[in-house]
Structure 1
Amino acid sequence: MTLALHSTQHDPVQQARMAPLPRLMIGPVIRAALAEDLGLAGDLTSMTVVPADHRSIVTAQTRQHGVIAGLDAAELAFALVDPACVFTPHVRDGDRVAPGDRIATIEGPSRSLLTAERTALNILCHLSGIASVTARIADAISGTRARVACTRKTTPGLRALEKYAVRAGGGVNHRFSLADAVLIKDNHVAITGSIREAITRARAGVGHMVKIEVEVDNLDQLREAMATGVDVVLLDNMSPETLHEAVTIVAGRAVTEASGNITPETAARIAASGVDLISVGWITHSAPVLDIGLDFVSVA
């Protein structure tokens, strides 16, 4: 499947989702990645092979269809290595690209460009990969009420950036942490004894601003949850036919979320059941990178 080109420039909803992350949030991630790569002696190859006064112009170009995310993080990698590096983006996060598209031009000291290259590309390719697979599912369910959402199955230390990439691909975010909302899953129910008891305890233990979601595996559990009262129901590993029944039972009294073994190929049938959300863990924990290369253009 290829992704048609588009821009978020005239889409106010997508532009709001794509508000850039504060540099304060991106900085620690990029600093840690650079420190890991530089080790205790710096970039030995560039320092010994490239003259200190040499300057270059390079471009970042895509080699696949996809959606871009992470330009600010890539720019910061070059800036932290050397403020003399000038990063000029040619697309925005959330834009769709085709093979050969130029997404950024970077000019500066050649040693610095080479030193920052891998860290910049690592994060840019990873986040763009997340945005790209999210877009495939978002495209598959276009025209339905459903939206694709990520989960907490993220890379440690990269959650904010990975969830940002999901938004770049047209998805929405689930919980950012355990403190965001109550999500009662099967082990919580097993320990407390019943869905009703788990919901009752949760309702008594949190404030009025905290939403409560419960995971159910079958329609009997769903009926128990609805009889007790919840804000969201997580319909786990149900067939499209069962999901349709579940949506009928809920009848708009709670948000419905489908989860479990969802792919771009199965998403349309699941969305057609009428659910509000489709949550997919692999779009963050197993998304393939988008292939982006950095190519030398000329001496600056």
Structure 2
Amino acid sequence: MEIRPVAPEDVEAVQALIESDPGYTERITGHPPGPADAQSLLMMRPDGLPEQAKVVLGVFEGNELVAVADLLRGYPDDGFAFIGLLQVHGDRQGCGTGSTAYGLVERYVFEHWAEVRRLRLAVVEMNAERAAPFWRRQGFEPTGEVKPHQYDKLTSTVQLYEKALCWGHPRLAVRDSPIAGKGLFAAGPIAVGEVIAVLAGRKVSTAELEELLEHPPVDTITVADDLHLVLPTDPRPVIAYGNHSCDPTTWWVDAVTLSARRDIAPGEEVTSDYGTSTGIADWRMKCSCGSPLCRGVVTGTDWRRPELQERYGDHWIPLLLQRQRAAQHA
């Protein structure tokens, strides 16, 4: 499948897609599809939002339109994109097309709207039984906000959902690394304290993670006991290419944010110490970082090492800081 902005010649196909699932339109508007719904979809946008901030995307399999999505850039605030609609052709529902289409939408945002860090959408109460489980499977969580929804004579409510996206510093580049495979490098100067990356993804248990690790690559950090954040794989975010170093150029400032540990010169590799973000006790990795401080092997119990505690101070993921403090008071 491929995704692209809908062109004028696609309007008839969009209208046919909308009409292929009349129940969806009825749950959202209280009416069956109208003959001009496709044209309305292309034109409608919130008051004050510029025309160039809206894009209607079509998901195609060959020449067939199988899904359509309405996206708003910078709405409701800078750094957001709002999914106003994701509708799958009635004949393609229940076979994974919706999840594939959503993945393509997220890839489009990743590739074209680099400033977007969060996706938001609204689930109409009349459609929640079907829509809410789908969006949760895609990694969205309710914000707790519920707003009124009025369309003609239909009075209902909407619940807002959000999903964080991975973000990487704009001066990061992926290149061949002397440490291992591909690595991250500074494409320009990065000052100490600058945010390098904000991680996001789906949360899985240790058992689920072990299954995922059988099919690498898997990019993950520990969030809590028996809970791990797994970064997306398609598209794989830039930060996922960051290699380990025992003398890293970045460190953690909160559960999902890496910042520059010192000034990073152009062309220098951008690294982190995997031992500061891994809480699986039996995890081990051979290290070839080449640093004079190289430990040779990185493990899931490196948080216990006094020299690392002194070197990094509070710059560990919160769970490992909690373990250190608990051990000190034991």
Q: Relative contact order, CA 8 A, sep 6+: which one is greater?
A: 1
Name the structure where strand makes up a greater proportion of residues: 2
Normalising to structure 1: TM-score of the pair?
Answer: 0.26
The TM-score with structure 2 as length reference comes to 0.25
